[in-house]
A = this chain, B = another copy of it.
């Protein structure tokens, strides 16, 4: 069966309306290039926002634990449709089965987490300096949240944002990648089931906008949308940031990564090899946390590269639906051209291709993941090419390794493989990695939802998912109540009229 046909069958089963089909927005499976046919673009973005604002005024009055109940029901529905939704992810984004399931599991996890949050959303009570005064800080709902997501995590990123936003009292408007509208429609259908069981939610609590760049810009520039949470390239993020800044809105950006692993002499090489392979070639190198730079101590570099070469040579590449496949397709031909071009530049800049780098002949766009030894961190290494290329560099002093890790514009994820307390803790210190994520004896990829996810510098500075990332979806209000019969001023100021 073509990927397109399979997709269509699942969407029918999930309840995506027939009316969704037949528009002007093309769809395509990277697995075999087949298309389920175009879908309808959202006709009226302004009306979407208006509905969201309406929904906000109702939803913000619903107690947060009750809002959490909707998210709990969503979690139940996701559990029930886990295999279906994961399959759509595989079909439309080209992920292998295990990764598709993992992505839906991440949605489920964030549901559980958000349900717990719904009885927290903790602000503070604080000690006031004035007698007979009570001071506290409360987090209030913010308003409609725009979620712009990328093709490579076509459903999890929405869930990270939507589950927090909904619990925080905010409606959601979702602008999915133009490359993955179908996963968005599938997710919306599942969400609608939860909504039906919840019964009294306002209209328009979560809406999908199918559309292109103009739709995204119209949404991002609208002052009725206080928060724009955007995942994608640094270029896109820079544009969104300025658009939102011009109206003094709030941005939450998850942009490019250029993630490194430092390997030291005390590293467990067996574990390192497995971590590198998954981090560098998983999702065909198309994760924002994909390992792109391998910084190895000179004493172990040759041995490590040799083992990697061997592992790479037997990587099963092909239809991600098939059991055993580890490497699926690139999302499209443009990606493959970027892959080719980067390898060419790498060689021009002194690099030596150790393994991989070729196209695989079959329907869809498939390549063999590449390892390239580089003499230095040249321009191509500093750039994020969204494809499976791993640059290998060496070092002799650990301080230099940390400096190399930090010497790129991006700041998402990083890791060190070592059994040395001194090296590990230095890597995690104020003079260690400058990324938002730093791991020890784990690859850069695959965060748990309990921690805050995001990075610094050109990665955009946003944080999603766990810890207190929910605060981005709320408005903080500092509240002081005078219950005395006097009017003392702070800082002892006197002003008697």
Residues of A that sit less than 8 Å from B by CB? 57, 60-66, 68, 72, 98-99, 101-103, 105-106, 109, 112-141, 169, 226, 234, 237-238, 241-242, 244-246, 248, 250-251, 253, 255, 268, 271, 273-275, 277-278, 282, 311, 315, 326, 418-422, 424-426, 428-431, 433-442, 446-453, 456-458, 460-461, 463, 466-467, 475-485, 487, 489-497
Identify the closest chain B residue to A105 (Cβ).
B491
> In the assembled complex, how far is the CB of residue A273 from the closest CB belonging to chain B, in whole angstroms?
8
> Given A130-B63, A449-B119, A497-B278, A425 and B246 touching (CB < 8 A)?
no
Asked if A497 contacts B277 (CB within 8 A), the reply is yes
**What are 15 inter-chain pairs, A to B, with CB distance below 8 A?**
A60-B430, A61-B131, A62-B131, A65-B109, A99-B495, A102-B490, A105-B491, A125-B137, A134-B428, A135-B450, A242-B242, A242-B246, A274-B496, A438-B477, A440-B479
Asked if B129 contacts A119 (CB within 8 A), the reply is yes
Going nearest first, the 9 A-B pairs with the smallest beta carbon separation are A116-B116, A425-B483, A64-B127, A119-B450, A123-B125, A102-B493, A241-B245, A245-B245, A441-B482
Identical chains in the assembly: 4
Distance in angstroms between the alpha carbons of A311 and B273 in the assembled complex: 45
Asked if A102 contacts B485 (CB within 8 A), the reply is no
Tell which of B65, B102, B467 touches A489, judged by Cβ atoms closer than 8 Å. Answer: B102
In the complex, besides A113-B119, A452-B478, 19 extra interface pairs with C-beta distance below 8 angstroms are A65-B128, A115-B116, A124-B124, A130-B448, A135-B450, A237-B248, A241-B248, A242-B245, A245-B251, A271-B487, A273-B497, A275-B487, A278-B497, A418-B421, A440-B480, A441-B483, A442-B481, A446-B491, A446-B493
Q: Which residues of B contact A481 (CB under 8 A)?
A: 421, 424-425, 428, 439-442
Distance in angstroms between the alpha carbons of A438 and B480 in the assembled complex: 7
Q: Which residues of B contact A282 (CB under 8 A)?
A: 495
Asked if A497 contacts B315 (CB within 8 A), the reply is yes
> Given A248-B461, A428-B479, A442-B482, A126 and B121 touching (CB < 8 A)?
yes
Asked if A120 contacts B116 (CB within 8 A), the reply is yes
> In the assembled complex, how far is the CB of residue A267 from the closest CB belonging to chain B, in whole angstroms?
10
Q: Which residues of B contact A106 (CB under 8 A)?
A: 490-491
> Given A65-B450, A255-B248, A467 and B112 touching (CB < 8 A)?
no
Asked if B63 contacts A129 (CB within 8 A), the reply is yes
> Given A65-B129, A105-B492, A491-B446, A119 and B466 touching (CB < 8 A)?
yes
The main secondary structure of chain A at its interface with chain B is mixed
Identify the closest chain B residue to A108 (Cβ).
B491
Asked if A451 contacts B137 (CB within 8 A), the reply is yes
> In the assembled complex, how far is the CB of residue A76 from the closest CB belonging to chain B, in whole angstroms?
9
Tell which of B60, B122, B437, B442 touches A487, judged by Cβ atoms closer than 8 Å. Answer: B442
Distance in angstroms between the alpha carbons of A141 and B130 in the assembled complex: 16
Which residue of A61, A132, A326, A489 has the most chain B CB atoms within 10 A of its CB atom? A489
Q: Which residues of B contact A442 (CB under 8 A)?
A: 133, 480-482, 487
Q: Which residues of B contact A418 (CB under 8 A)?
A: 421
Asked if B311 contacts A497 (CB within 8 A), the reply is yes
Asked if A122 contacts B119 (CB within 8 A), the reply is no
Q: Which residues of B contact A251 (CB under 8 A)?
A: 245
Identify the closest chain B residue to A477 (Cβ).
B438
Q: Which residues of B contact A244 (CB under 8 A)?
A: 245
Q: Which residues of B contact A422 (CB under 8 A)?
A: 419, 483-485
Which residue of A138, A139, A246, A449 has the most chain B CB atoms within 10 A of its CB atom? A138
Tell which of B64, B116, B122, B241 touches A112, judged by Cβ atoms closer than 8 Å. Answer: B116
Tell which of B124, B134, B453 touches A425, judged by Cβ atoms closer than 8 Å. Answer: B134
Distance in angstroms between the alpha carbons of A129 and B105 in the assembled complex: 13
> In the assembled complex, how far is the CB of residue A185 from the closest CB belonging to chain B, in whole angstroms?
23
